[in-house]
Amino acid sequence: MAVDERLYIVYAFLYGITNAIAFAWVRDLTKSWRWGVLAASLWALSPGHILLATLLEPSELSLVSVSFSFYFLYRFLKTRRPGYASAFFIALLVASWARSFIQIYVLVILVVAVISFHIMANKTSRRWGWTVLNVVLVGLIFAYPVKQFVMFDTWSTTTFGGYHRVGMLHLEPRDVSSPSAQGTNAPGDSWTSIEDQVAVASGTIIVAEPPQDIIDNALRFSSRFNTQELVRDNYRLEAAANQYLRNYPLESIQALFKSLGITVPEMLNPTSMYTNNVIVESLPYRGIWDWLVSGWRLLLILGAAAALTVYQRRWSGIVQLSRRYAWLGLYFVLILLPIIWSNRYFPDRQDEGPIWTDAVRQKMFLALPVSVFVIVSLARAISQFQAKRGQDSAGSNHTRGNEHKI
């Protein structure tokens, strides 16, 4: 209990830091401390944010580090100062320690990012030094996936990586078997594995047994969900998913779209419903708040913000904005992908189907840039309206003055 009490103090600081990032980002974009205070206040009052800040697990630390990474990436793209790019990679490194955001497919994109950021940065004498630091940081970010591959023969950094892979493809885990269970006598082919040959011939999914070394490592480093049985399942199910993607690409695409029907509705639910929380449940405004920022109301707010932005900047301005902040949009998508395909089977509960998802909580990692976008679009719209109203009022006064002279 004493440890938990001290953790609540730490998490209170993290909670305040997230609110401060919202203030700084909105103030930077609107040049108004009032809009910044509004953004920080909304984040401080959000039932979903309060839930994460009082949930003693890595979610709030992940939220802080990911929010910092978004903000520092924005600052780099705006100012082209190389120090902000390094700050982005540092925040991303912390995020990768707190939650499994980084998967192997991100490596190529981050390498391209380091090169692009070096070219884009202001031509200062210290630009090369920042780039060397960025290379080191990217290496540290991918130390964890490399460790996973060396120890468990997988690049996945997710505890239930195999269950996620077959979940988003809607493959029944119990349908995956080993060659020994099938008694394969298929003809040899130097171009395809025996597993793929039998899979094509019989329509079943057959994978090899996991190597003994990863089973031994699983026994040495066993803890809670990280068990020998789960390592076996992840190895078997990841291989099955890879085989299915190769042999049935069209069916795989259809399954991925089917998974969106599970995760997207979950993302539209309020985060405060993730688990029971006496603080959140005591908030007098929780009901109206959750109703307003969920379901079709949330989609309506986002649509209105997008429409206002297009109206304010016109298409030429949107194109210019997209060119300058393209990396910010790409980073947003990279965080979004594992959330919208986060549905999976739950071990020992396969009969329920691949419906278990954390999307209602993980969507909070994208909530800050979305909130900033909505608030800034509203601030700009009100500012333009006030400016136009002031011009109309000035024009009217000038006309009345001329009439008096006449």
The SS3 call for residue 242 is: helix
| Ordered DSSP codes for 40-87 | HHHHHH-HHHHHHHTS-STHHHHHHHHHHHHHHHHHHHHH--HHHHHH
Tell me: pLDDT of 30 over 70: yes
Q: Which residue has the higher pLDDT, 394 or 207?
A: 207
Tell me: pLDDT of 314 over 90: no
Tell me: pLDDT of 192 over 70: no
Tell me: pLDDT of 353 over 80: yes
Give CA–CA dist 326/305, Å, rounded. Answer: 19
Average pLDDT of the chain?
Answer: 86
pLDDT digits (tens, 9 = 90+) for 78-123: 999 999 999 999 999 999 888 777 777 788 899 999 999 999 998 8
Residue 44 confidence (pLDDT):
96
Give CA–CA dist 251/262, Å, rounded. Answer: 17
Give CA–CA dist 28/36, Å, rounded. Answer: 8
C-alpha triplet 364, 362, 322: angle, nearest 5° = 60
Q: What is the DSSP letter of 275?
A: S
Tell me: pLDDT of 315 over 70: yes
Tell me: pLDDT of 288 over 90: yes
Give CA–CA dist 193/387, Å, rounded. Answer: 69
pLDDT digits (tens, 9 = 90+) for 138-163: 999 988 888 888 888 888 888 788 88
Tell me: pLDDT of 395 over 70: no
What integer is the mean pLDDT of 243-261? 92
Supply the pTM of this predicted model: 0.87
Q: Which residues pair with 321 in a beta bridge?
A: none
- What's the pLDDT band for 204 if we cut at 50, 70, 90? low
Share of the chain above pLDDT 70, in %: 89
Residue 180 confidence (pLDDT):
45
Domain boundaries, the chain: 82-389
Tell me: pLDDT of 350 over 70: yes
Nearest to 247 by CA among 211, 207, 210: 207
Share of the chain above pLDDT 90, in %: 56
What integer is the mean pLDDT of 23-35? 96
Residue 398 confidence (pLDDT):
55
